[in-house]
Structure 1
Amino acid sequence: MVTVSELYDAGLKTGEIRPDPAQQAVLPALDALVAALPDLAPPPREGGGWLSRLTGGRKAAPVADGPKGLYLWGGVGRGKSMLMDLIMEAAPIAEKRRVHFHEFMQEIQIALNESRKSGQADTLRPVAMEVARKVRLFCFDEMQITDIADAMIVGRLFQILFDQGVVVVTTSNRVPEDLYKNGLNRQLFLPFIGLIRERMDVIELDSPQDHRQGRAEGGQIWFTPADNAAHAALDAIWAEETGGASASPLELSVMGRRVTIPQHVGRIGRASFWDLCGQARGPADYLEVAKALDVIFIDAIPRLSMSNYNEARRFVTLVDALYEAKVRLYASAADEPERLYAEGEGAFEFERTASRLREMRDAGWGRTDP
């Protein structure tokens, strides 16, 4: 059985990983977690599928205490996601999954909608039990809680997963006590913070280095300010990428809604910031955009602040979807990513977005198997 430390050392030798004392300091804890996985209790048996269990399936009892999960937090670009990837690679079990937090919450919402149709009083438990039936190790990347509905779902979901012996690993930019900070009815969320502290080892990745910075950049992809010169530069790249082919709108259907990309040629699309973020959009919409395109051009990203807070939040979600799907980005903007959202509520969360936008300038960024 390979350990996380061995995989990390192999990455150092090939140059895929740059040495970082903070990362190396947490490796023993990751090794211990992986070593305990073969001894996990088997998945719960509670009927065939969650729809059948809605009609009377027996509830599975909580299992005996197993290894604690892991809550790995720290600043942007510190290598949290990379370490999670190593945990997944080293884990010697088949029942494991890694998913971005946004994507998973969309799956849960869809499942809850189906569960509600049954008329059951408890709609979340069968959904959570179906997750527990399939995985023993569940890795959530980039946990962030932005509304009370998600806060309450996540709290109960984690409780059920823990009770069924699922080992949960998650990354976050915030210490648990700062999750959903200043949120509406936050007192309802506080028990979940206690649950994290009880059932997960909370470890800070305290590195001074943002590993997304200083990468070798490819050709220019981010043009600032968003003036006529920037627009003309994007036009030239657009013509080169599409071979001068005629563009047409791309219509995507998402849960009964229509999402329109005004211009597209094959798997290359172009839209303005306001086309993408000026309307009520959610993670499901942006995940569908990311699935449909390999390259996207975004025109005229403005400065972000409390005056356009809703649009800024949507942009953060959009960048998350594009980043996870390895979509190549070209954009014009009012300023460099680090200065787009300089102060006010939301500025902290935007640091991660700015770091991701910086990483997306890497010469090798983008899908290799479109």
Structure 2
Amino acid sequence: MSGILARYDALIQAGELKADPDQRAAAKRLAKLQEDLEAIPKRGSVLWRALSRKPEAIEGVYMWGGVGRGKSMLMDLFIETLGIDRKRRVHFHAFMQQVHALLREARKGKSGDPIPPVAARIAENVRCLAFDEMVVNNSADAMIMSRLFRALIVDENVTVVTTSNRPPHDLYKDGLNREHFLPFIDLIDERLDVISLNGPIDYRLDRLGGMESWHTPLGDEATAQVREVFFRLTDYKPEDAEHVPSAELDVGGGRMLHVPKSLKGVGVFSFKKLCGEARGAQDYLAIARAYHTVILVGIPQMGKDMRNEAARFVTLIDALYEHRVKFFATAAAEPKDLYVSGDGAFEFERTASRLMEMRSDEYMALGHGAQDAAND
């Protein structure tokens, strides 16, 4: 089996990838990690049994950067070409769901700290644990991650490799009880090599092939278009559409928002759920921080009797715009025709203008986040 660096260079030579110095530097670091992991004696071998204690964990890798920088591609190549049996690649959200299930099981009728036995169980058949898209959206995950990952890395000697859209110090930023999460950031600094792939090129946008972001009128054709966007952006197999992960997003105040489809920083919502229910700016800011791309389906034409829905929609779009979130939608009409009469219709013209700007190539090329957002 050829290693990640040879495979990456072969893809460049074949014209399937464009040469990128940051990507190659990351591939080189991952190749070194492969060598270190493959040098460890195989579990159960004579050499393994001769060791007086388990091999110490090898320093892992934390790759972060904007959308479409090739993080998931490099992770896939790393795992595919890693020549050990005890490896696992899993989406971070799915892993944390499993962790919570194991913790519930460990607590049944038992006293004591459930973290160590859960970590030991996870590590039974795993020497290298690879996560795609590490993101922390709720306090339940944040509260246990420091202790869980210290147990996995320090006690069970598991090597962790992960990708994220955010640098470590921005994980769970402004989250509830974030002070309990800070030791996890310290653990990343101690035990993982942090690599930035945060250049200006968004290779994932190439996959969209110029697909439009606003689809009207409502119907099967519009739905099919945004469905295709989701699968292109997340690399999820369309034939497995029934098993797309969902998520529970912490929107503050002890409230959780169910996200029907949530994968690799792409969230899918319905207009009815986001704007037809009582929600405020805090909810929409949580979405804007958590997702680099939002797909909203079922936007209706709004009459005078829908002034509350129109006002919430305005607040939602403001939050997404200010955080440079890529926005795809199915709607009953073009933005300028969505809300033409009723309270706030004049102010809605600003939202329609923003929606038109959000469809532009220039907006789509912007990196996710509010820190450098352009002023009006």
Scaled to the shorter chain, the TM-score interval is: 0.5 to 0.7
Aligned-pair distance for 1:33? 0.4
SS in 1 for 2:157: coil
Does structure 1 retain, via aligned residues, the 8 Å contact 2:285–2:319? no
* Secondary structure at the counterpart of residue 168 of structure 1: strand
Q: Secondary structure at the match of 2:88?
A: strand
Question: 1 CA distance for matches of 2:119 and 2:328?
Answer: 30
* Structure 1 residue 193, shift from structure 2 partner: 1.5
* Per-residue deviation, 1:332: 5.3
How far apart in 2 are the matches of 1:239 and 1:24?
37
Relative to structure 1, the CA distance from residue 138 to residue 352 in structure 2 (aligned partners, 3 Å threshold; closer, same or farther) is farther
Aligned partners of 1:20 and 1:207 also within 8 Å: no
Q: Is the 8 Å Cα contact of residues 69 and 200 (structure 1) preserved in structure 2?
A: yes
Match of 1:27 in 2: 27
Match in the other structure for 1:341: 320
Q: Which residue of 2 aligns with 1:176?
A: 168
Aligned position for 1:192? 184
Q: Does the CA contact (< 8 Å) of 1:69 and 1:169 recur in 2?
A: yes
Q: Secondary structure at the match of 1:134?
A: coil
Letter aligned with residue 205 of structure 2? Q
Query: Higher relative contact order at CA 8 Å, sep ≥6: structure 1 or structure 2?
Result: 1
State the distance in 1 between where 2:195 and 2:43 align: 27
Q: Is the 8 A contact 2:61 2:160 kept in 1?
A: yes
Over the matched positions of the two proteins, sequence identity in percent amounts to 38
Give 1:13-24 correspondences, 5 Å limit.
13-24=13-24
Q: Secondary structure at the match of 2:135?
A: coil
Asked whether the 8 Å contact 2:145–2:181 carries over to 1, the reply is: no
Offset of residue 234 of structure 1: 2.8
Corresponding residue of 1:36: 36
Match of 2:283 in 1: 310
More displaced, 141-150 or 210-219?
Answer: 210-219
Q: How does 1:110-149 map to 2 (within 5 A)?
A: 110-149=101-140
Q: How does 1:276-355 map to 2 (within 5 A)?
A: 281-282=257-258, 286=261, 307-310=280-283, 313=286, 331=297, 341-343=320-322, 347=323, 350=325
Name the counterpart of 1:235.
219
Contact 1:319 1:353 in 2 (8 A): no
In structure 2, distance between residues paired with 1:42 and 1:135: 12
Q: Name the CA distance, whole Å, in 1 between partners of 2:106 and 2:41.
A: 27
1:81 maps to which residue? 72
The answer on 1:68 being equivalent to 2:47 is: no
Determine helix, strand or coil for the equivalent of 2:203. coil
Q: Pick closer, same or farther for the CA change 1:339–1:219 going to 2, 3 Å.
A: same
Indicate the residue corresponding to 2:229 in structure 1: none
Supply the AA of the counterpart residue of 1:342: Y
> Aligned with 1:29: secondary structure?
helix
The Cα shift of 1:201 comes to 0.7
What TM-score, normalized to structure 2? 0.61
Which runs of no fewer than 5 residues in structure 1 stay unpaired? 45-60, 224-229, 242-266, 269-276, 291-295, 324-328, 359-370
* Structure 2 residue 147 is matched with structure 1 residue 156: yes
Coordinate RMSD, CA, aligned = 4.2
Q: Could you tell me how far 1:119 is from its partner in structure 2?
A: 2.0
Partner of residue 5, structure 2: 5
Q: Does structure 1 residue 204 correspond to structure 2 residue 196?
A: yes
